[in-house]
Amino acid sequence: MKDGEEKVILLSLRNGLGFSKSCYNAGTAPRVVEEYMKENPEFKSSCEENIRIAYRTLASVATSYANNKEWGRWEIANEKCRNFNVELVLWESFCEKKDLNDMKFMQAVLMYKDEDDIPTAIGMNKLEYVTYLLENNHLKKFIEGEFKKMRSTVNYG
Given a contact cutoff of 8 angstroms between Cβ atoms, the answer to whether 100 and 2 are in contact is no
pLDDT (0 to 100) of residue 111: 87
Q: pLDDT tens digits, residue range 92-140?
A: 989 999 999 999 999 998 888 888 899 999 999 888 988 988 888 888 8
- Give one word for 89, left, alpha or beta, with left for phi > 0 and alpha for psi -120 to 50: beta
Confidence of residue 157 (pLDDT cuts 50, 70, 90): very low
User: How far apart, in Å, are the Cα atoms of 118 and each of 41, 95, 115, 135?
Assistant: 24, 11, 6, 17
Average pLDDT score over the chain: 89
| pLDDT tens-digit readout, 4-37 | 999 999 999 999 999 999 999 999 999 999 999 9
Least confident window among 51-60, 68-77, 118-127, 144-153 = 144-153
Interacting residues of 115 by C-beta distance below 8 A, sequence separation 6+: 147
